[in-house]
Each structure stands twice: as C-alpha cells, then as structure tokens.
Structure 1
Amino acid sequence: MNTRKLGPAERAAAISVLRDPDHELDVLVIGGGITGTGAALDAVTRGLSTGLVEARDWGFGTSSRSSKLVHGGIRYLEQLNFSLVREALVERGLLLQRIAPHLVRPVRFLYPVTAPVIERAYVGAGMLLYDLFARTGGRPPGVPWHRHLSRRRLVRDAPGLDPRAFRGGLVYSDAQVDDARYVAMVARTAAAYGAHVAGRVRVEGFLRVGERVVGVTARDLMTDEVIEIRAKQVVNATGVWTSDVQAMVGERATFQVRASKGVHLVVPKDRFRSKHGLLLRTEKSVLFVIPWGRHWLIGTTDTDWRLDRAHPAATATDIDYLLERVNRVLRTPLTREDVEGVYAGLRPLLAGENEETSKLSREHLVAQPVPGLVMVAGGKFTTYRVMAKDAIDAASDALESSGMTGRVPASITAEVPLLGAEGFRAAWNRRTRIARAFGMHPSRVEHLLGRYGSLAHEVLDLIAERPELAEPLPGADDYLAAEIVYAADSEGALHLDDALARRTRISIEAWDRGVAAAPVAAGLMAEVLGWSKARTRDEVRKYLARVEAERASQEQLSDEAADRVRLSAPEPGGQAAVRGSG
C-alpha cells in the first residue's frame, strides 16, 4: 500500500505524477462521488495504474446529500423491479458484513398500517420477499427478519405516534451510512492501494489523437495551474454533471441524465419518541424518518431540478411539505422551529423524454461514446460497487482489445474492506478499555469508532500529543477539535466547508449550523494547511455567507427564488486567490 492519508503532501505528490508527461495512466477517473471513488478503487485493485480527480470535495454533490441509507429500495417491489432490489440487498449485506462494518450499520423501520387485514397482508408479503432477496447472495444479510406488530405493541414502541393514525404495523431492517464519510474513505482506500488521488482539480477539456481520447486538461484550483493528464482510458463518473462532460467531448449524448431534487430535514431526537425509524407512504413515493445519532432525518422530496447543480436549494414549500406529511402520524406536530438543519441533494436519474422524476430509473448504464472514454451514470449509493465494476470492466475490455495492456484481472472489490474495517470489531469490543486509557467517556470512543473504525487510534494519538484537542467544538458537542485537525491532515479537507459540511455534519446538526464552530475549526485547519491570517478569515467569512444564504433560500417559495438567493454566497476560494500575509 502507498499511503493511508489524503493530506496536503499526498495531494501534491499525486498531482506531480498526474501531470508528468512521461507517465501515462491506465485509467483516469473523473468525479469524486461514490461511483468515481469506487471506480478508482476497483481499477487500482486490479493492478491498473489509476488516477482520480474531483473538481470540488470528495462527495461534494449527490454523494453527501442522500437519505444516508444503504437499502434495497422497498418501493421498487411495487414496480416489479425485482432484479434491482435483489442486487441492492446483496450489496447491503456485503457492506454491512465485510466492506465497511464501521461505517454501515443496521437500522429498523416501522411501517404503520391503517387497514388491519388487506394492507398488512400486502405489505407483509412484500417485506417477506425483501428479506428473502437479502438472503440469496451467499452471505449473511447482517439484519434480522421483519416482524408484525400489534396496535398495542406499536403504541409501546412508538409512543410519539398518534394512535388514531394506524391499526398496527410491521418492522423491517435496512442500513444507514454517513455518505460523505464513506466516499472520503473509499478515496483514501484507493490511494492506499496506489491510486493517484487529488481533489480540487477540475477537468476542462479532453486530449485527443484523432477520434481517441488520450487524457484531459485540468486546472488545479488551489494554484490555478493548468495541467495535462494522459491516460489510456478515461472514465467519466460525474453524475448530474454527465451532460457537461459529454459536451466537452463534442459528441452526441449517449444518454441523458436528469436531476431530481431530494430535500431532508434534521430535527432533534427528543421531538418525538420511537424505538424505530418510520417508513410512510405519500401520494407520490415514500417518506423516511431515519434515526441519526441525536437527531431524526426526515425526507425526501422528489422533484425535477434544472437550476444550479452544485448548490440545489430547499424552499419553504419543500420544508412545509415534509412537515405536513410527517405530522399526519405524530402525536405532537413538528413546526419550523423544531428544524435544526436542512439539506438538498440531486439524484442522477437516467431520463426518458417526458417521465416524472419519481418514475425514472435508478438503474445504471455504461457507454463508450468515443474510443478511450467510458461513461457511467444512474444507479444509487447502495449499488455503487456494481456500477464501478461495470465501468472498469468496460475500460479493461477496451485496454485488452486495443493491445494496450495484457489480461486485466477481474474485479475483487467484493473482498476489499475499506480502511478502518479491519480490526473494527475487536476495537469496538475494547472500547471501554480504550476510553479508560485515554481518560475519555466510552460514548466518545464509540463516536470515534463509528466514524473512523480501527483508524480511530490516529485521532486518539492526536489527542495524546495535544490534550486540548479533546475539547468539543463550540455549538457542536458531538465533534472534537482533533477531528478537524485529522480532516485536514489525513482526509483531504482543503476548505472549512469541507470539514464542517462533509467530514463532520456540523452544518446540518448544529442549531447555528456551525457559526460558532467556524472560527475555531478554521484556526485548527490553518495550522495544518499553512493558512495565513487573511486566508483563515476568508474561509470563515465564506462559510458564514454560505449559512446565511442557505437560511435565506429556505424562506423562498419557489426553486427559482431559492436558487438565486443560495448562489449569492461566494464559493470557497483557492489558495492562490487569497494568499497573503496579515
């Protein structure tokens, strides 16, 4: 393995290799979401020389703003899409049991029923099929069977629900994940196996020899330098930005990707009591209420989005819709004052001509519009590994058929655990001893193990060297100062927004959305990244502007108005733009 870190030095070393005119990669992956990072890991573990570039932060787009579920998609059973559900459930078990037990964990959901016989039988048959599919992959599913609840038992398990809203229910299992942390860990794992990984590198064009794509031109957004990266095969995994990349190639679009906006609310866990999450039917789709530490996540919407794809904006209409739907089953209704955080993300859906986004396919496609270029789009977070495998299969076939390489081995990512997975269960069993050794409360160690797995010792080592880093951040008691230092030193965080919105979830979990934590976190990052005082102030200013713009956009009634307000906040600037003394 090469490096377990994605710090500034490692990024510089990766760019040095990528820009080397004498170094031609076998595969260059564009896009640092879950599919792109997964493709890089798949390629490098087959023995291919691999590069990975991302224009912003790891998981910046779709992959950090999902429902944070690893699931089969129980609603797809009604659409008779059995193959998609089975594939996703097999992957769910693989992630839970082998690939990332430290990041993916089981979660139980309650489905309240209103018709005690017909609905219970119908839903129960679907959940039985769901459980059976999960047990067809040759591995333990990692979750228990579903079960039926009487009305009396449901009232006991979920006293926060309005007893007049149901006649009983069923409980079934899926899994959840901190999606942004997962993506960053996949990128780190790819780097550990030798991939040359660099964030904040934006592809601006393709290098061509005749019809063949032989690499890209890209801009290092931290220095504003333009570089050329040469590769035998380029894999485009840019999700909702797929059309932009296709336009760079200058070819007719192989397929269309439409963006569907999904909005989620974050509310405190104490606003209503339930042992389980909730799955509720709406007129168009389903609504999840998901346990999330000391919070609930409530979502999602499913509406067409044709505006800015980097910063999709939630509206007051979206928020009111979610509150109105969930309040139909709660004993004490939620109000806007109960909402701690709001986030909006975009799903990259394979588009037909006139289909509603809620009916578009969650399956994926792989295409080769021109020699040297592979495009992959669609799919869902849970099946990222399959998407990545299919994309690298296509690239490998092209390498072999063109004689550019010998026989490329088959994918092995089903057997490759992410960093932090090996030794996680042993560390979890020793969590009380670890807490005693570092003078910490066991719940703090559990928090670190659930975010870093067996790599939690690296965060604890920082605290051992500098005890002051054991202090929680202002306004964000769940997160320690050491985690911000670690984000900049080892996890590729280059801006304050990276640390507060993705390496941690302070931007949606804290009541002030990170305003109090921002100056302290920026100071900690400055020590690692060598920021000047001016740069540090600029990072804080831009983060606070982001918070203000998001809050204001969530008061607007239309997508267009919310989009205009959200875009009033400046983007985090590159180092070259704000370098200075002071």
Structure 2
Amino acid sequence: MNRSEALQQLDATWDLIIIGGGATGLGTAVDAANRGYKTLLLEQADFCKGTSSKATKLVHGGVRYLEQGNIALVREASIERGLLYQNAPHLFKNLTFLIPNYSYYNNLLYTVGLKFYDILAGSLSLGKSKYVKTKTGLLQAKNVKTKDLKGFTQYHDGQFDDARLAINLAQTATNQGATLLNYMQVTQLLKKDNKISGLTATDILNGKEYKLQAKVVLNATGVWADEIIKMDVPKAVKTIQPSQGIHLVFNKEFYPNETALMIPKTTDGRVLFVIPWHDKVLVGTTDTKIESYEIEPLALENEIDFILLNCQHYLEIPPSRADVLSVFSGLRPLAASTNDKTKEISRSHKIMIAKSNLVTIIGGKWTTYRKMAEDVLDKTSKAGLLPAKKCKTQNLHIHGYKKEIDQNNPFYFYGSDLEKIKAIEQENVMNQEKIHPNYAFTSACVIFAVQNEMAFKVEDFLARRIRLLFLDAKAAVEAAPKVAQIMAQELNQDATWIANEVTAFALLAKKYELTL
C-alpha cells in the first residue's frame, strides 16, 4: 500500500466510495474490488482505529446467541468462522475453550447445548464439544477455582488478531485493485437531482480538500453512521445505539494455560472470557449502554470493577488493579432499539438505502464481516445502483496467507510477509535492534509498517501494526521515542515531529493505563 500513489488516483469517477476503514468497510472494499467495481475507501483516522481494533479477538459462532435462540446468526457466523480459517490461517487459531461447571446440571446443560453448536457449523466445525472430568480439566485450566467444581465442558472456537486482519484486508483490497486512504475525512455528501453523486473529503495529513465523484456511496462508519446519515438528511432519526465493552490485559501467570476459559453466567448474567493472547491474558468483556462517546472511549470504573470481581469468583489467585497491563474500550455499533438490555439487542447487520441512494450498513460483528460485505453489495446491485456481479470471496486468500504457521513465533501474524521483515533486518545491524527490551519487535517491524502498511503515526504502529499498546501500555510508552525516530527517518520528518508524536502517544496511552 502506498498513500502517495493512492492520492494520485483520486481524479477518477468511482463505482463505489466506502466511508469507514473498519471491519465492514475493509471487507466490502475487498469484495467490491474482487467483483470488478472501481472502489475507493476513505477512513478519517487510521484503519480500524475504532471498534474494529478493540474486539475480544474471537472469531466465533456466538454461544450466547445460541442461548438467545438466534440460530440463524449462529449458523451464519459458524460458517464464516470456518471460511476465515481457510483464507487466513496465519491470523487464525483453533482455540480450545473450557466452561467450568459448578453444578452437575450445568455439566449436562452446556455439554448438550454445545453439541448443537457443533452441528450448526457442519463440515466447518473446529472440533467436537465434550464433557471433561474435573481432574483432567484442571490440568488445562490451572488457577481455576476448585471449590464445588463438578467438571468442565470443552468446545472449540476461533481466535484472531483484529487489527492485523484489518491491515491484511486493506492490503488484499489494494491487491485486488481498490484504492484506500487513511486520514481522509469526509466532510460533505454531494448530490445531483437529489441523488448522491459523490462527496467532499479533506486529507488530515496535508489539509488538502478533494471533491470525488461516485455512482454509489456506502456508509460503513460503525458508531459514526448517524453523522453521515445526517449529512444526507439533517433531521434523520437515530439508527445506532452504541454499547461499550472493555477488556483488561494481565501477565500470563494469572491464567498460565493454552486453553481459554468461558464463564457463561457472571454476577449480572453476562458472558466473560479469559483468553491467552500474544503471551498475555485477555479478560472481557462488558456490555454497557452509552449515549455519548468518542473515538477513544474510556473504560468506566464500574466496568473495571466488574471484571476484577468476576476474576475473584473464578480464579484461585485473582489479579488486582495493580496487575492490569492495559485496559482498552471499544464501542459496538448496535442497531437502535427500545430494549435497554444491550446484550439482548441483535448482533445481526442491517442495510438501508435512502431516497438519495446513500447506502448504510450498521450492526454485525467481526466474524461475519465477509458476509456483511457480500450482502450489502448484493442489495446495492439489486437496487440497480451497481451492475450485478457475483461474490467470489468465499475462497479468496487474504494477504499474508501462509498455510503452515509456527504460532510460537512472536511474528507469526505477518504470515508470508515475515520474509520481508527478515530481509529488512539483514540490511543492517540497527534494523535488528529491539524497540523494547522485553518484547521481540525490532526496528525492521517499524520500517516495514511505514513502507508497506500505511503507518504514519507512532500510534498506528504501536497500537495496530503491532499490539504493544494493548498488551502493555507502559512498555509502549517506553518504546515510543525509538519508534518515532525510526518513523521520522522513513517519513522525512524532523525533530519537532518526533517530539510531538512522543507527547501525543504518551497522552493516548494514559487511557490504556489504570491509576491505582
């Protein structure tokens, strides 16, 4: 991906301009370009800056959706989970989950229920669910509370790295012929005869304004969808009801296992996951209805307390507030509902085509991103806005595809691009230097991100090209000066830019650190 080259292509008339560089927008860019539509994607910040980098890192059918009786969504998600495993094995892990049961009834309930979960996945199932005896389960779930423990239910689901998938989707879309730009903010929708004919966008990095022509504009901005809708119809009713979910990250000592833990009923009836992730432990999530929000939402104190309290209920040696390495908060773009219980609002996606022909897609989740893209393009073509072309992404390999992956390698998520990282490291000894003594990431990773992954800010690299901000906020702050110096050299920036970037990143990182 090359931003300078992308800017030179903006004079074209586009079949489709996608607003939003999260899971939905990027997935649609891949599908649209693969179908042969001339496609442009614009993201006001960095790719997957918002919700799409702050998920629970699971590609799953949705056990709680099964409990709610949403069979269609579970079936769809289970199929999509299997397709992602086939198309991006370098980003996907078949993860074993254990449900600790503290009654014999729950042993039966969850074991039988998850057999149905297996059936819905069909040939794309990741493994059979089964009952596991207490003694056997504890060998795989060390530090789980043993008092009154009656056994475990084991099942399989997928794990991935959301931000890395997003970057690889951006690269895939580019490989398919799409043009993508981050830091390009849409400021106005253009109309001709009351129909959308394009939009105006401003380049955040240089301040230049562009007027762009398009047959179709797709609003795939997640929780910001209403802002784009109101550019079209200023008095439009609200379509989004955001829900906030937070995660806490700890050292692996609190759950030193390769399996994940799923708590089906917490103190308020939610589902809680304890998941190994990049040699750390990720615990989440919450589900809190909110009215006001920003692109970097703060974790609420009651959400933090909720997770820590439930860790005390299920772990023999629970972590404390002082043990939190990072806390991150994401917003779910749920379709607006009169239901106050956000956990019961459907995660299914919704597609709307306005009188102006503005197309909007809301809702959904990472697992079904590919199907969401297929559905929105099919519906757009059926409405006569684009020529009908068949979706072919079911078997499309995602950039970085590599079948055999050593997931013990801390760089495994680069997939086939790992060879390029190694080549940069071999150029000189300095490129082999670590950016932080406690982590494997090298200067070569920074150089690669600038040259190939459209990283323009220290945050882009430390938060999303690698996940250090999410894994260890303090270490990320310590690495920031070195990262800024390397990026400045690649981007031809000066000492003032370095100082500003380090300061800005330190300010951002405070939102990921807990005060005692």
TM-score range, shorter chain: over 0.9
2:53 aligned partner: 64
Say whether the 8 Å CA contact 1:351–1:361 is kept in structure 2.
Answer: no
2:106 aligned partner: 119
1:447 aligned partner: 410
Structure 2 residue 350 is matched with structure 1 residue 370 = no
> 1:393: Cα distance to partner?
1.4
> 1:453: Cα distance to partner?
0.8
Residues 308, 147 of structure 1: alpha-carbon distance in 2 compared, 3 angstrom cutoff: same
1:130 aligned partner: 117
SS of 1:17's equivalent in the other structure is coil
Counterparts of residues 305-344 of structure 1 (less than 5 Å)? 305-344=290-329
Say whether the 8 Å CA contact 2:274–2:282 is kept in structure 1.
Answer: yes
SS of 1:170's equivalent in the other structure is strand
> 1:155: Cα distance to partner?
2.5
> 1:550: Cα distance to partner?
4.4
SS of 2:355's equivalent in the other structure is coil
> 1:319: Cα distance to partner?
1.5
Task: Measure, in 2, the Cα distance between the counterparts of 1:395 and 1:199.
Answer: 24
Task: Measure, in 2, the Cα distance between the counterparts of 1:260 and 1:452.
Answer: 31
2:344 aligned partner: 359
Unaligned runs of 5+ in 2: none
2:388 aligned partner: 408
- Per-residue CA shift, 1:165-188, capped at 9, x if unaligned? 521111111011110111111011
Say whether the 8 Å CA contact 1:255–1:350 is kept in structure 2.
Answer: no
SS of 1:377's equivalent in the other structure is strand
Report the aligned-residue RMSD.
Answer: 1.7
The one-letter code sitting in structure 2 at the alignment partner of 1:104 is F
Which of 139, 160, 184 is residue 156 of structure 1 equivalent to?
A: 139
Task: Measure, in 2, the Cα distance between the counterparts of 1:370 and 1:177.
Answer: 38
Structure 2 residue 90 is matched with structure 1 residue 105 = no
Task: Measure, in 2, the Cα distance between the counterparts of 1:485 and 1:296.
Answer: 28
SS of 2:262's equivalent in the other structure is strand
> 1:395: Cα distance to partner?
2.5
- Per-residue CA shift, 1:119-138, capped at 9, x if unaligned? 22211121001111111xxx
> 1:517: Cα distance to partner?
0.4
Say whether the 8 Å CA contact 1:341–1:511 is kept in structure 2.
Answer: yes
The one-letter code sitting in structure 2 at the alignment partner of 1:425 is K
2:504 aligned partner: 542
Task: Measure, in 1, the Cα distance between the counterparts of 2:395 and 2:22.
Answer: 21
Structure 2 residue 376 is matched with structure 1 residue 391 = yes
Say whether the 8 Å CA contact 2:200–2:212 is kept in structure 1.
Answer: yes
Residues 555, 270 of structure 1: alpha-carbon distance in 2 compared, 3 angstrom cutoff: closer
Task: Measure, in 2, the Cα distance between the counterparts of 1:39 and 1:255.
Answer: 24
Equivalenced residue count is: 514
Task: Measure, in 1, the Cα distance between the counterparts of 2:367 and 2:89.
Answer: 14
Which of 7, 17, 22 is residue 15 of structure 1 equivalent to?
A: 7
Task: Measure, in 2, the Cα distance between the counterparts of 1:503 and 1:284.
Answer: 35
- Per-residue CA shift, 1:190-234, capped at 9, x if unaligned? 011111111000001101002100101000000111111110001
Unaligned runs of 5+ in 1: 1-5, 432-441, 557-582
Structure 2 residue 470 is matched with structure 1 residue 508 = yes
SS of 2:314's equivalent in the other structure is coil
Counterparts of residues 142-291 of structure 1 (less than 5 Å)? 143-250=126-233, 253=236, 256-280=239-263, 281-282=265-266, 283-291=268-276
SS of 1:477's equivalent in the other structure is coil
SS of 2:504's equivalent in the other structure is helix
SS of 2:439's equivalent in the other structure is strand
> 1:307: Cα distance to partner?
2.3
- Per-residue CA shift, 1:366-412, capped at 9, x if unaligned? 110134321101001100011111111122234xx36xx6x432111
Say whether the 8 Å CA contact 1:476–1:514 is kept in structure 2.
Answer: no
Runs of 4+ off more than 6 Å: none
- Per-residue CA shift, 1:425-452, capped at 9, x if unaligned? 25x4xx7xxxxxxxxxx95xx232x211
Task: Measure, in 1, the Cα distance between the counterparts of 2:340 and 2:293.
Answer: 21
Which of 75, 79, 103 is residue 90 of structure 1 equivalent to?
A: 79
Say whether the 8 Å CA contact 1:396–1:408 is kept in structure 2.
Answer: yes
- Per-residue CA shift, 1:297-338, capped at 9, x if unaligned? 000010012223201101332212101112111111211121
Task: Measure, in 1, the Cα distance between the counterparts of 2:234 and 2:397.
Answer: 38
Say whether the 8 Å CA contact 1:46–1:408 is kept in structure 2.
Answer: no
Task: Measure, in 2, the Cα distance between the counterparts of 1:145 and 1:549.
Answer: 40
SS of 1:514's equivalent in the other structure is helix
Task: Measure, in 2, the Cα distance between the counterparts of 1:539 and 1:511.
Answer: 16
Task: Measure, in 2, the Cα distance between the counterparts of 1:390 and 1:220.
Answer: 30
Task: Measure, in 2, the Cα distance between the counterparts of 1:555 and 1:340.
Answer: 11
Between stretches 460-469 and 81-90, larger displacement belongs to 460-469
1:438 aligned partner: none
